Structure 1
């Protein structure tokens, strides 16, 4: 057989198998749905870092490989839970470098409708606070010794609700009520 024929057949086979893998979102969807369950395993109701951190490291390897290979896959390709897994694992990454690496990828995906703008707001705020800057959307809160919710380092709090609205988040007062029923009278 002609060596060019063999090479041509191998190239066609490799390209078609790569395309098949790239378009086989069912396998990816299933794996990411499992990743989402594992992401929450020792996080709720009480976070146990000794049990959760090794799971997070494994999940991060899976998610970054998928994003690096195929980009940020939208709900239309992998469904809501699998799409949520991409965000949750990056949001829970234990290094700022990982969050910063994938933040622009998620921003671009949000512009295309492949990532949720609300989730993007959470990642942006987490990155801002980790860099000792003020959070933009007021998604990251703390709880004082009396169990009251408060927001550290919030940029221009008078205009936070307009920024939140641009990311499809409800007003911060409603957010506070949701996470702290006793905060209903705070403004």
Structure 2
């Protein structure tokens, strides 16, 4: 099974209630809250040690991701793509995890491209989203940012077009080498008791 790297009842209710009424001058606060919920549930997922615990957290993650996507769509429809680097980064994070709506991810990539050209969004965020879309579409990545956990002991880099070219592209936007990134992935996501490392 692949995994790509509170009280739920009141949280979902609060997110739903605020999604339709948020004024554009409050977008920064709301995006920060949504991004916080996104990261909190993922941290909780990585702390689980049994399959049953992981599946329970994954179900809650799907609910949170769905609500975050609804709110991001409402925010962008009402206010446009965020106009500051911090807010754009938060919006990117939510779009990055909107795998249930590939069409929206593609649209978000277009907004992000325009934001990068305007000097607001970072090229790194655009690289990650472009790779996420490529992986979701079954195409090779250009920056090698996406992995899949095939089980708790195997983290596999999703296909890339050419490792040498990937490293050149990564260097151009200030990312570490693919080899260093793979090693970091091993350290972060592969439990110490696993004997095997990161596959290719």
Q: CA RMSD in A?
A: 2.8
Tell me which moved more, 124-133 or 52-61.
52-61
Matches within 5 A, 1:126-137: 126-137=132-143
Matches within 5 A, 1:24-103: 24=25, 27-46=26-45, 48-75=57-84, 80=86, 82-93=87-98, 94-103=100-109
Report how far residue 145 of structure 1 moved. 5.1
Q: Gaps spanning 5+ residues in structure 2: where?
A: 1-22, 46-53, 191-195
Q: Gaps spanning 5+ residues in structure 1: where?
A: 1-20
Aligned with 1:113: secondary structure?
coil
Name the CA distance, whole Å, in 1 between partners of 2:70 and 2:151: 36
Report how far residue 85 of structure 1 moved. 1.9
After TM superposition, the score normalised by the length of structure 2 is 0.69
Choose between structure 1 and 2 for higher RCO, CA contacts under 8 A separated by at least 6 residues. Answer: 2
Name the CA distance, whole Å, in 1 between partners of 2:155 and 2:66: 30
Report how far residue 125 of structure 1 moved. 0.6
Residue of 89, 101, 118 corresponding to 2:124: 118
Aligned with 2:78: secondary structure?
helix
Computing the radius of gyration from Cα coordinates, the structure with the larger value is 1
Give aligned pairs, total: 160
Deviating beyond 6 angstroms after TM superposition, the runs of 4 or more aligned structure 1 residues are: none
1:159-180 Cα shifts (integer Å, max 9, x gaps): 2111112232121112112222
